[in-house]
Chain A
Amino acid sequence: MKSANVRTHRQQGSQKVAPAPLGEQLPPVAPSTASTRRGRGNAPQRLETAQSLARKQREISVSEFFLKNRHLLGFDNPQKALLTAVKEAVDNSLDACEQAGILPDLRIEIEQLSEERFRIAVEDNGPGIVRHQIPKVFGKLLYGSKFHTLLQQRGQQGIGISAAGMYGQLTTGKPVVITSRTGPTREAHHFRIAIDTTRNKPKILEDSTIAWNKPHGTRVELELEGVYRKGARSVDQYVAQTAIANPHARIVYRSPRGEEIVYERATDQLPPRPLEIRPHPYGVELGALIEMLRRSSSRTLKAALQSDFSRVSPRVAAEICARAEVDPDRSPARLTPQEVERLFHAIPQVKIMAPPTNCLSPIGEEQILAGLQHVGAAFYTAVTRPPAVYRGNPFQIEAGIAYGGDLPVDGLVELMRFANRVPLLYQQSACAIFKAVMSVDWRNYGLSQAKGALPSGPCVIFVHMASAWVPFTSESKEAIASYPEILKEIRLALQECGRRLGAHIRRGRRLAEERKRRSYIEQYLPIIGESLQSILGLSDRQRQQTVTTLQTILERSRKR
């Protein structure tokens, strides 16, 4: 068991960084846990063991890695597994539609086959997938278009949908069924694909063409074991929040209970296409730096720095090389690891312009307001902050608040967290968004808040982080890591929303108070009149005069 763990750790590292036997050359890159375990486990014959392990590494498939580490990908319990599978398919569909400039039209179906078995189907009107790619996209882990680009989109590693398929296959033995069509003149391809888990390769069980009424799009169906629950962290909640963060999408959702909910498009405007950017030197990790230089097509180091990174001018490149004491004219691929490490440590000492922020595609204040309409509140506000940077990665924070209306008066506010338009439902308390919400004193804005708790009231708080690289705390992408820059931006956005909310609540209270006062006066004045009349034996005219005068006195004092 122990050696298996070691292998998987190493596997993960090499997948992310480089297939080369990096570990042997550069011990600092290897995860420290792996190296200490290795040291402890096989102390007497350390060298041989490390090398033999390195050989074995290539034989182990990612699929097997998944089997042993499925919790990392969000399949750790049946309830979560159902959610994750839906989420991965929906993420892919939305990404594909947006990249093709199509307004997404999604259909999500969940059918309960037995107590713990479900069939899910997600259908989109996206560009479709060309025939020969279909098996790889759905039957091979870590295959996709996303990992190698720094681009703001939902998926990042290309692990999600095939992992969902693998989980389904693992729990039910059923293959993934895919139907895809790339255009009205093309045929619709129908696949049934199983995954060869030892070789990380798709096994095609069926490859045919069928008649399909959609001009283009993709439909993914898979069976899996899961548990369906309503309420917090349910698929229902995920779909509802997805509709809020993607007001340009129309989503039809058929729940396991058979109800069909339609989230109509709240806007016909597609979000602007995010631009792909080169990494900024401040954000690059040592392993990535080694890999980038090794693969660079530039012939000199200074050229590689300038062309492969953003915001590196000739002057900046020269300064980095000088500080690292590396010849700028050397070939980048031939640098020794020690030289690369020196470069790595030199980078933070050089002042480099912040990265460009045009790579970001925020939802936008208007669109957030449109999306929040789904919750049925009485007051809405939204703030999109200007872009900011953490560790060389540009990001942008947006916040929104919906208050009053049909929202439940009792209990805590509902916090909706999003990263690149994807709802985050798990690990709330580990998330930077939650921490930022807790750090704001909401009593200033008219909400009540117990110590150490979320504020309470008929209120939804919406926070979105857009970034080409969202720093999640784990592979399953459930919580955003708490970088100070991120916390600060979230706080500022929340405070701005809070101020507007506070103004609204105070205005409402003033009006209510005014109404109450008025009705108070109207209710009790006649009674005072009657009492005085009865005690003092006043005439009706005298009583009327007294009441009128008293009313004038009270009105006057009220205005003051």
Chain B
Amino acid sequence: MKKKTTRKKSVARRNGRNGIDRLTIEKIKEAAAGIHQSILQGRKPGMKFPVRALSNVHYSPSKGFFELGRRKKERTLTVTTIKTFAQTLKLMELSKELVETDDFATKRDAYYQSKNWGEARFDEQSESDAVMDDIEALFSLYGISREQLRFYPEEHGGAVAGELIVIDRDPETGERIEIDCTRFGTGSYSIPHSVEHLEFKTKAKFVLAIETGGMYQRLQNQKFWKKANCILVEMGGVPTRATRRFVRRLSEAARIPVYAFVDCDPYGISNIYRTLKVGSGNAAHINKFFCVPHARFLGVTPQDIIDYDLPTHPLKEVDIKRAKDALKNDPFFQQHREWVRALKQLLKMGVRAEQQALAKWGLNYVIEEYLPAKLKNPKKFLP
């Protein structure tokens, strides 16, 4: 066992990714050492976690995303907290092991791993998820994400096609692999669970993040990325952590803008686009890794419905509620007058339109007319 660990460790080092990994291990050790010290000094040990409640979450206009406030809760080791305390330590121990062996565990994996922990085992995955969220919040303070702790989400990322070369490594040998995203034919490159180690080579001018699989498929099959010199990313509804992190890292590495192309309805605007851009309140501790603050909203805008005379459906009850809620409670939308105007316009019109409504003017109208027209004037995109 020990031997294997050292071998894997050397693999990790060979890959040159030991910088962040060293930090992760260092911080885990630091936390454990703090506890150990307290005990030796005869004090009750404790751990301080940022409070993850919504009351401790606020929107930072300068950074452009939701972030955690400074409030912390201390979990002191007492008789009542001893179980959670033991579980937290065990999860940290697991994380350290995963980093050292260059392995990973999904949330579900971690839950099953705990079945080896005797009385400290988790009875439900929701329990292990909660403890994991605490650890994630704790380490986010040091700029360490959950993926760096080697806890990977279950869901994988979306599809990618276009003028991009992703530099990955062979999971077995650590060998460098270049993946050309133009060479998938009618298929696509699929974003992996963890994207921290990826590097990028691209000459594209922007990233186009698309809500629906249908629209993505059309743009990909017509090689729109070639025409517009861009990278297509399929989000498939609300983007997963991996997708958001991929888009973020890609756009920062290549210094190119991100444009969102979603349905014109409150769900597309306030759930999909907003989550991509500023993250969610529920997971404020991870937003700093996962949001794409410089994303902009290409369409479909409420004004597009009028300009392009799109076929519509009436807004549903939930749509209206969602839009009103965004106007009333969401600091991101309140921050931008353009959005307030757009949402009010949408509510006044009382209708919604899907991306694919553009097919009214012909199946490839979106490629030949709509997108080129829009892309001529990126400054007009909604913030």
Contacts and interface: CB of A to CB of B under 8 A. Distances in A.
B12 interface: no
B58 interface: no
A549 B90 CA distance: 20
24 contacts: A520-B79, A520-B83, A521-B82, A523-B118, A523-B119, A524-B120, A531-B86, A531-B89, A531-B92, A531-B93, A532-B35, A534-B96, A535-B93, A535-B96, A536-B29, A536-B33, A536-B36, A549-B39, A549-B42, A550-B39, A550-B45, A554-B78, A554-B82, A557-B79
B85 interface: yes
Contacts of B119: 523-524, 527
Nearest to B89: A531
A546 interface: yes
Given A534-B93, A536-B32, A558-B79, A528 B44 contact: no
Nearest to B120: A527
Please indicate which of the listed interface residues B35, B45, B83, B117 has the most CB atoms of chain A within 10 Å of its own CB.
B35
Interface string B139-167: 00000000000000000000000000000
A523 B82 CA distance: 9
Interface in B95-145: 96-97, 117-120
Interface string B307-324: 000000000000000000
A553 interface: yes
A551 B89 CA distance: 17
B1 interface: no
Nearest to B32: A535
Interface residues of A, number: 22
Interface in B169-212: none
B43 interface: yes
A532 B79 contact: no
Nearest to A555: B79
Nearest to A546: B39
B43 A553 contact: yes
A527 B40 contact: no
A557 B92 contact: no
Please indicate which of the listed interface residues B43, B82, B90 has the most CB atoms of chain A within 10 Å of its own CB.
B82
A518 B308 CA distance: 72
B28 interface: yes
A26 interface: no
Contacts of A558: 79
Please indicate which of the listed interface residues B33, B45, B83, B93 has the most CB atoms of chain A within 10 Å of its own CB.
B93
Give the size range of B's interface with the partner. 20 to 34
Interface of A: 517, 520-521, 523-525, 527-528, 531-532, 534-536, 538, 546, 549-550, 552-554, 557-558
Q: Per DSSP, are chain A's interface residues mostly helix, strand or loop, or mixed? A: helix
A548 B369 CA distance: 75
A538 B39 CA distance: 14
Contact of B40 (A524, A535, A549): A549
A554 B79 contact: yes
A535 B82 contact: no
A473 B243 CA distance: 77
Given A532-B32, A535-B93, 18 more contacts: A517-B79, A520-B82, A521-B82, A523-B83, A523-B119, A524-B82, A524-B83, A524-B119, A527-B120, A528-B85, A531-B90, A531-B92, A535-B28, A535-B96, A553-B39, A554-B44, A557-B44, A557-B79
A554 B38 CA distance: 13
A554 B82 CA distance: 10
Contacts of A520: 79, 82-83
Nearest to B28: A535
A528 B89 contact: yes
Given A531-B32, A554-B78, A524 B39 contact: no
Interface in B37-90: 39-40, 42-45, 77-79, 82-83, 85-86, 89-90
A535 B44 contact: no
A401 to B, nearest CB: 32
